[in-house]
């Protein structure tokens, strides 16, 4: 006789487990604890076996609840397997194993493997950039999909979505990163195709805009404006240090006090924080050392020169300096459009115009030298020249702010003797 939902619902526990039989091997086992389990009894090779189909709860909204109708459907599926000589429990185990293997082969799982494998060769900033973009723009659409099921059109829709918000550069990078991830999946034998490869050229790249350099007059105006700026004192120190050292914005923002040796007048930026993954030495002028001493009074309690106000465990964001430039009317609509990264272009332009060796300037800018032998030579031999150049540059900046200074004549003579 077939079982009813009411009978299943009202069945009370007893001292020993008992069964309420349905049809075709299905029954509800009621345990003394009150737990009710759907079971299917079957035979293969003359041997009786039992297969658990799920649990029956009085509260139908409980996660995992299997109704009488659901138990009958599961029983019918199990009966079909038994007719083929397949144990339902073995089939379930294989399905779980297959799902676990597929979980290892999702786009997100393979992307994280790829990042883990290659991340040691990237700067911290670059690695964080990749993780952030994949998390926000890629994983929501294809992260949980097996790499074998992802189509070029699915990736194309991601690129178009990013492109529509004006982030063409990121769309271009997403295609490159996705292609690298699929190639890694091919190498590790989890797929055979790279669906991102046919999309090369699908995104229109924005025209490269080089950082604007300040003219001598504009730099003088900036220095005067900085003198009257009433913003965060640490930000003011940051502008001056960046101007004198012309490091990249991220290299300044993430600077740690332990990287500075005041006695040697050197700032050694670790390789992992450099774009080219090589340690970079920044000779410190007298002006920078004075600034560092002043800044230490403000932020010396932190590991960072420029700690984030919201969390002392990290540093200021990428927008902090540019927002200050906007308030100073050097960046934004109706201005000259000068961003913090432009200090590098400013120093490079003026030092080249001043007759300094271009190789020395490029080495101080930490630009990549394609000739590794030459790059090694430059790293070793240009340090003395760079020390002179950095002091001359600091004195040049001081002279723009105070034309009566006499320090520049001395350092110019040092530069001439070194030249």
The residues annotated with a catalytic role in the active site are 248, 275, 341, 344, 367, 377
Q: How far is CA 379 from CA 60, 120, 215, in A?
A: 72, 23, 29
Q: Give the dihedral sign, CA 377/382/383/384.
A: positive
* Residues 248-277 as b or e (16 or more Cβ within 10 Å = b): bbbbbbbbeeebbeeeebebebbeebbbee
Read out DSSP for 34-60?
S-EEEEEEEEETTEEEEEEEEEE-SST
Q: Give the distance between the most distant pair of CA atoms in the chain.
A: 109
Name the helix (H) or strand (E) containing 280.
strand 280-283
Query: Facing residues of 19 across strands?
Result: 29
Q: Which of 382, 342, 333 is nearest to 360 (CA)?
A: 382
**Category of 125 on φ-ψ map: left (φ > 0), alpha (ψ -120 to 50) or beta:** alpha
CA angle 382-387-389, nearest 5°? 90
Q: How far is CA 356 from CA 131, 262, 396, 407, in A?
A: 40, 25, 13, 18
Taking the CA of residue 106 as centre, how many other CA atoms within 13 Å lie in the half-sphere pointing to its CB?
Answer: 15
The total of other beta-carbon atoms located within 10 Å of residue 302's CB is 17
């Amino acid at each position: 006789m077939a079982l009813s939902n009411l009978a299943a619902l009202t069945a009370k526990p007893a001292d020993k487990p008992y069964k309420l039989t349905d049809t075709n091997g299905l029954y509800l086992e009621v345990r003394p604890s009150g737990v009710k389990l759907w079971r299917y009894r079957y035979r293969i090779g003359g041997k009786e076996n039992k297969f658990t189909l799920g649990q029956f709860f009085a509260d139908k909204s409980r996660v995992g609840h299997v109704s009488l109708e659901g138990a009958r459907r599961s029983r019918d599926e199990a009966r079909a397997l038994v007719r083929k000589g397949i144990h339902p429990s073995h089939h379930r185990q294989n399905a779980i194993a297959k799902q676990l293997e597929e979980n290892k082969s999702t786009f997100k799982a393979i992307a994280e493997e790829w990042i883990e494998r290659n991340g040691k060769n990237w700067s911290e900033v670059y690695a964080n950039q990749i993780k952030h973009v994949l998390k926000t723009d890629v994983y929501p659409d294809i992260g949980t999909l097996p790499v074998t099921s992802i189509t070029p059109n699915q990736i194309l829709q991601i690129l178009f979505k990013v492109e529509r918000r004006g982030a063409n550069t990121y769309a271009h990078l997403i295609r490159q990163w996705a292609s690298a991830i699929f190639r890694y999946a091919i190498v590790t034998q989890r797929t055979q195709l790279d669906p991102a490869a046919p999309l090369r050229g699908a995104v229109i790249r924005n025209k490269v805009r080089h950082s604007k350099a300040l003219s001598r007059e504009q730099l003088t105006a900036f220095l005067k404006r900085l003198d009257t700026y009433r913003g965060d004192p640490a930000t003011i120190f940051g502008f001056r240090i960046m101007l004198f050292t012309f490091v990249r914005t991220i290299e300044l923002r993430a600077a740690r006090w332990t990287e500075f040796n005041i006695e040697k007048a050197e700032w050694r930026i670790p390789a992992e924080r450099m774009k080219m993954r090589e340690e970079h030495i920044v000779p410190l002028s007298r002006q920078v050392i004075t600034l560092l001493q002043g800044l230490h009074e403000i932020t010396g309690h932190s590991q960072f020169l420029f700690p984030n106000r919201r969390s002392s465990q990290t540093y200021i964001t990428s927008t902090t300096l540019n927002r200050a430039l906007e308030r100073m009317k050097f960046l934004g609509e109706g201005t000259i459009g000068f961003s913090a990264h432009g200090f590098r272009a400013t120093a490079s332009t003026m030092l080249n115009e001043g007759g300094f060796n271009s190789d020395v300037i490029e080495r101080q800018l930490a630009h990549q030298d394609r000739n590794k032998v030459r790059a090694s030579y430059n790293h070793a031999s240009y340090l003395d020249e760079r020390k002179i150049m950095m002091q001359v540059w600091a004195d040049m900046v001081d002279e723009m702010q105070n034309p009566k200074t006499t320090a520049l004549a001395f350092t110019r003579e040092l530069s001439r003797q070194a030249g």
